[in-house]
Amino acid sequence: MLLAAKWVLPITSDPIENGAILISKDKIKAVGGKRDLIKTHPKETVIDFGKAILLPGFVDTHTHLEYSVFRGMCDDLPFALWKIQVTKKSKKLSDSDWISSAQLGTLEAIQSGITCIADISSTGASLSTALLAGLRGTIFCEVSGMDHSKIDEVVSCARRNVHSWLEQSQNSHLKIGVSPFGVYTVAPPLFKAVSDWARKEDIPLCLHLAGSPDEYSFIMYGSSLLATTYRDLMGWSDLLWQPMGVSPVKYVEQWDVFEGEVIAVHCIQVGERDIDILRKYDVAIAHCPKCSAKLGMGIAPLRDFIRCGLRVGIGTDSPASNNTMDIFDEMRTGLLLQRGASESVEGFSAEQFVRMATLGGAEVLKMEGEIGSLEEGKQADIIAVDISHSHQIPVNDPYSALVYTTNQENVIFTMVGGKVLYEKNGYSILDQEEILACTEPIRKKLKGRSLRHQGVWQACRKWAR
């Protein structure tokens, strides 16, 4: 099979105008000019997308597919209140609801050109759905608990889940990891036990880290809504918690969490010493610019990450936090935020952000030998993006067109391992109508008066002052 388009972006080499990609089974066999490849492979079927860009599928380095049904349910709240609201609403969902929610997120991911995910799941719904859909990536089993007396019980449960997930994911595109969720949900000895276990069994680890001022205050001073309202909600109010007097990054280092293959999500509330620690352990960063801005968490020091040689990829963090899984919007928002914050256009380009969303994400997951660029021998994870609209023409630079003029609706083709998952006329595996029909009853179940309309928002603002 030959895929052809106006532009082909190999990522690791210059864009090819009027290019093509030769695919055999699940692998890329050649990348080059359309005319040359058709001439040398005259018997191959040619699919020509015309005014479009062919590039590697996007790697979403952080998401929660099973949170997709919360889209629009917890808007316009700062991080801590958002987390409290999501936690409350989560208690209303059944096992089948979580599956439907994960399926909704998977529909959007595939239609958005996301071919590889790093997903944190507490229910396993993300795993079963990603397996069904044929996505590539790593599903991390969420682990939480602040009760020191229950550490062994929590770890044993997590081990059983991970081993079960490993069995389910055999002969698939998915790997399994573990996620001690974050510093405000995981007791110190639980961090230690999970990280030791992950290293022993060579399992990748992912955690939310240094994301919001609330989290920073929780660790440094023992304050913020995460230390009061959230702990009450989780039933942890009677458990002792004392301020650590250090940053979240330094705190986590003390429990050997970075000793292994680790992805840290967000890393916004970090200083120079924190970044030095992340560099020391070669911790990879999942950068989620839209979520961070929408929840008022801040702007990550991306320039410092790159300057220090850290591996950085783009993450969507699910529709629950930023309403879409649109990698194009993540790239655009991320680039503009960095330029606005630095008051400079130097150091960041559209090409650099496209690389972060593809090969950079593959590097974060240590899958750069398989995916992330269009090169001979790599997996045929490929997407086509339409650039034929009036707001896109003329296209002089395909990287600029992708970042500044496109969105998820412009994706017209998604392939994983040589298998077509989505074309403009629909999905090859998932039943869109059935999935969308299942989400409406869940929406009604979740719908209720928001925190803004309960007076809690005003009370918390007063408390914060």
In a domain, 43, yes or no: yes
Judgement on whether residues 168 and 201 belong to the same structural domain of the protein: yes
Q: How many domains does the chain have?
A: 2
Please tell me whether residues 348 and 385 are part of one structural domain: no
* pLDDT one-digit tens code per residue, 417-459: 999 999 987 999 999 999 999 998 998 888 865 444 444 444 4
In a domain, 456, yes or no: no
Give a three-class secondary structure readout of 54-120.
Answer: EEECEEEEEECHHHHHHCCCCCCCCHHHHHHHHHHHHCCCCHHHHHHHHHHHHHHHHHCCEEEEEEE
Looking at every residue in the chain, the average pLDDT score rounds to 94
d(C-alpha 25, C-alpha 291), whole Å: 37
pLDDT, tens digit, 9 for 90 and up, residues 351-404: 999 999 999 999 999 999 999 999 999 999 999 999 999 999 999 999 999 999
For residue 457, is it within any domain? Answer: no
Domain end position, chosen among 320, 345, 364: 364
Between CA 388 and CA 18 the distance in angstroms is 14
Same domain, 263 and 170: yes
Residues 287 and 404 in one domain: no
pTM of the complete model: 0.95
Same domain, 21 and 139: no
Q: CA 231 to CA 243: how far, in whole Å?
A: 14
User: Is residue 45 located within the same domain as residue 130?
Assistant: no
Q: Is residue 448 part of a domain?
A: no
Are 334 and 417 within one domain? no
**Domain end point (choices 337, 364, 391):** 364
45 and 152 together in one domain? no
Q: What Rg, from alpha-carbon coordinates, does the chain have?
A: 22
In the prediction, which pLDDT does 448 show?
Answer: 62
CA separation (Å) from 189 to 179, 222, 255?
15, 18, 8
Contacts (Cβ under 8 Å, ≥6 apart) of 440: none
Q: Please check whether residues 183 and 36 belong to one and the same domain.
A: no
In the Cβ-directed half-sphere of 190, how many Cα atoms lie within 13 Å? Answer: 29
Residue 176 confidence (pLDDT): 98
Residue 294 located in a structural domain? yes
Pairing between strand 136-143 and 174-180?
Answer: parallel
Unique residue bearing structure tokens 């007396």: 149
CB 231 within 8 A of CB 241: yes
Q: Which of 317, 341, 364 is at the close of a domain? A: 364
Strand order in the sheet with 205-209: 58-63, 114-121, 136-143, 174-180, 205-209, 262-266, 284-287, 312-314
Instruction: Name the residue among 197, 201, 234, 199 with its Cα closest to residue 218.
Output: 234
For residues 166-181, give the mean pLDDT. 97
Residue 20 belongs to what domain range? Answer: 2-55+374-427
Q: Does 189 fall in a domain? A: yes
Sign of the CA dihedral 128, 129, 130, 134? positive
The tokens 């919360």 sit on which residue? 70
CATH number at residue 418: 2.30.40.10
SS3 208: strand
The whole-angstrom separation of Cα 315 and Cα 313 is: 7
In a domain? residue 464: no
CATH number for 320: 3.20.20.140
- For 44-93, how does the pLDDT look when each residue is reduced to its tens digit (9 = 90+)? 999 999 999 999 999 999 999 999 999 999 999 999 999 999 999 999 99
Say if 443 falls within a structural domain: no
The answer to whether residues 81 and 135 belong to one domain is yes
Residues 207 and 223 in one domain: yes
338, 396: one domain: no
